[in-house]
Amino acid sequence: MLKSVRQVIREQIDNKELIIRMAAFELKGSYQIHYLGSFWQFLNPAIQIGIYWFVFGLGIRGGAPIDGTPFFLWLLAGLVPWFFIAPSIIQGANSVHQKIGIVSKMNFPISLLPTIRIVSSTPQFIVMLIILFLVSFIYGITPSLYTLQIIYYTFAMYVFLIAFALIASTISTLVRDFQLLLQSMMRMLFYLTPILWSTDLIVKKLGDFGRLLENILRLNPLYYIVQGFRDSVLGKAWFFEDLIYMGYFWIVTFALLYFGSVLHLKFRKDFMDYL
């Protein structure tokens, strides 16, 4: 029953060095025609962060903190994982359709393509994390034991992204409309995930209905990751304090990995027919 999952995982492990080399090549090739090169990986998110802080922080909120945390730091703690998650999902879903023509005649496990796209964004994620810690230090928040949880949430984020990209890249290759639908869904999820707003405000204003709405929003696995990063940086909670939600996240992740592996292996010999 889990033969497909084992095969896909084995392909990732056996070709880990190839994944790293191709991810580095992918990163270098993406920006080689630009004057600023790979610096755009950091400049683009920095511009977006500045816009969100100006509009939602100074404009709408007037610079007011959230739960005693400066809004800019609170916002940055949510945006850093999102700026890794969003492009990884969109580009990972398009990775097979984009590269299948190149690797189809090679002895190359196609399941590596989504992983390569995700890994190629890792340098940007690391630099953004460093910036996040520097901003935290400026605001007087120093690393604590809670900070170690970032290792766990980073691992959870990678596993989820690889699992989702596996199934999304297969569907996107078979049905091209799915890629456009996914892009629209990610724009919607950005506002339905607690990145620009706090769920505590909903509960305070709407009471029991607010708690119901919060629980519905928590069905989004990205909610778990973003909130986990924020709790780790700001020292708010441990990952094991809510075992039910933790279990829900991993059940969804492994379900995606299972169905993605089965679907991928079933259709990957026919991918060229759908180009």
Task: Summarize pLDDT for 181-208 with one digit per residue, the tens.
Answer: 999 999 999 888 888 777 777 777 777 7
Residue 193 CA to residue 183 CA, distance in Å, equals 15
DSSP secondary structure letters along 64-82: --BTTB-HHHHHHHHHHHH
Query: For the whole prediction, is pTM greater than 0.85?
Result: yes
Q: Name the residue ranges covered by the structural domains of the chain.
A: 3-196+222-274
% of the chain beyond a pLDDT of 90: 29
Report how far residue 191's alpha carbon sits from residue 82's, in angstroms, rounded to the nearest whole number: 11
**CA dist., res. 228 & res. 231, Å (int):** 5
pLDDT in tens, 1-42: 588 899 999 989 988 888 888 888 777 766 655 555 566 667
